[in-house]
Amino acid sequence: MNGKKKEERRVPKLRFPGFTEDWEQRKLGELGNVGMCKRIFKEQTFDEGDVPFFKIGTFGGEADAFISRELFEEYKKKYPYPEKGAILISASGTIGRTVEFTGRDEYFQDSNIVWLKHDSRLLDSFLKYVYECIKWNGIEGSTIKRLYNNNILKTEIRLPEINEQKQISTFFKFIDNLITLHQRKLEDLKEMKKGLLQKMFPKNNEKVPELRFPGFTEDWEQRKLGKLYQRNTERNENLIGYDKTISVATMSYKDDGNGASESSLSTYKVLRVGDIAFEGHTNKQFHFGRFVVNDIGTGIMSPRFSTLRPLNEMPVNFWKQYIHSESVMRRILVNSTKAGTMMNELVIPEFLNQTIMVPSENEQAVIGQYFTNLDHLITLHQRKLNHLKELKKGLLQQMFV
């Protein structure tokens, strides 16, 4: 032995057959330079127009500004403009997001959306996945994170020869297509559920839903919520540990509790299966807050949440969907909530005085089981999608140096 340390080979752990050469180490600046479009000023944009203008906030989505055809043609001719297939990258906001330029007539915000104009040693299709592997360093800026041109050009990558680049990028493109397919299936199922929730529950002032299972013809009955629920006053008294603390946001146990001291757990409310909790944060989907039904088991939750308990046993899988529905509960919550310091508060006496349309227990059971099956299908597709994303993540680590 000569005592010299064996030089480490620059090769990935996982490789296609037929490729044995080391990957070359290169800075992106050795392969090309950063391109960006000419600056567009606000007064040059319109709410509607011929050519979409993408800012950092709409990058990868739908444009909310446009420029004229004349300005686009002039700037495209005079100033840098990406070629079809170029990998555009966000240089501010959430940095490192990428979009493959399709070649459509579009314009992009200068300095915030850039691309690498490179030579023939690098394929754009390969660069896309190189970017996904990079943990960007040298990020500067305080309020807005920024990826400066120099950050990009100084970034070192490992580069195989062109044929290997083609094989790798084709393989990952196939995985991306699978992910997109499963994402669409998942979104379609969620949209289908959203539509069915609207059709299978009566609209305001109606006694029957638009869509029903065969065999059910009777009107739904108007019931006062005070005949269905009562205020939940059961306290923990230290019988249930912090590992059974329930998160209202996700309706799941928080094994480590929610940061409360053990001495305060005696003040926590006990939530049993079928109990409902009001979560008063508002958003685009829930304008006044929302109810969630406990379908996971006995637990405890913070006393700041209003909770109610059914007077009689009711099909949990039906009420989980029904009392959570914005279209069903909006009128009720308009009349039984008030603005609080952090979120809306439920006025329980007013809530119990409101009315709601209720089907027979048999119809409740059938509707509830249908949505349970649909939720299981959605969960299955979500797991498949997550598995594909994890598979891709692992393969990127194995197939890149």
The domain spanning residue 381 has which CATH number? 1.10.287.1120
Quick one: pLDDT at residue 261? 75
Kindly give, in sequence order, each residue whose CB lies less than 8 Å from that of residue 44, ignoring residues fewer than 6 positions away: 67, 68, 71
In a domain, residue 328? The reply is: yes
In a domain, residue 59? The reply is: yes
Do 322 and 228 fall within a single domain?
yes
In a domain, residue 78? The reply is: yes
In a domain, residue 229? The reply is: yes
Do 112 and 35 fall within a single domain?
yes
Structure tokens at 205: 């002032």
DSSP state of 92: B
In a domain, residue 123? The reply is: yes
Quick one: pLDDT at residue 41? 96
| Angle formed at CA 171 by CA 160 and CA 114, multiple of 5 degrees | 65
Amino acid at 399: M
Cα dihedral 294, 297, 302, 304 sign: positive
In a domain, residue 10? The reply is: no
Domain containing residue 49: CATH number: 3.90.220.20
pTM of the model: 0.84
Answer with the one of 115, 136, 159 that is the final residue of a domain: 159
Total of domains in the chain? 3
In whole angstroms, how far apart are CA 369 and each of 215, 234, 251, 364, 376? 16, 29, 19, 8, 11
In a domain, residue 40? The reply is: yes
Integer Cα distance of 105 and 109 in angstroms: 14
| Structural domain for 96, as ranges | 24-159
One-character DSSP codes across 57-84: TTTTS--S-EE-HHHHHHHHHHS--PPT
Amino acid at 81: Y
In a domain, residue 169? The reply is: yes
Do 258 and 351 fall within a single domain?
yes
Integer Cα distance of 196 and 371 in angstroms: 9
End-to-end CA distance of the chain: 28
Quick one: pLDDT at residue 201? 96
Residue-wise pLDDT tens for the chain (401 aa)?
444 445 566 899 999 999 999 999 999 999 999 999 999 999 999 999 999 999 999 999 999 999 999 999 999 999 999 999 999 999 998 889 999 999 999 999 999 999 999 999 999 999 999 999 998 765 554 444 788 999 899 999 999 999 999 999 999 999 999 999 999 999 999 999 999 999 999 988 789 999 999 999 999 999 999 999 999 999 998 788 888 999 988 999 987 777 777 778 888 999 999 999 999 998 888 999 999 999 999 999 999 899 999 999 999 999 999 999 999 999 999 999 998 878 899 999 999 999 999 999 999 999 999 999 999 999 999 999 999 999 999 999 999 98
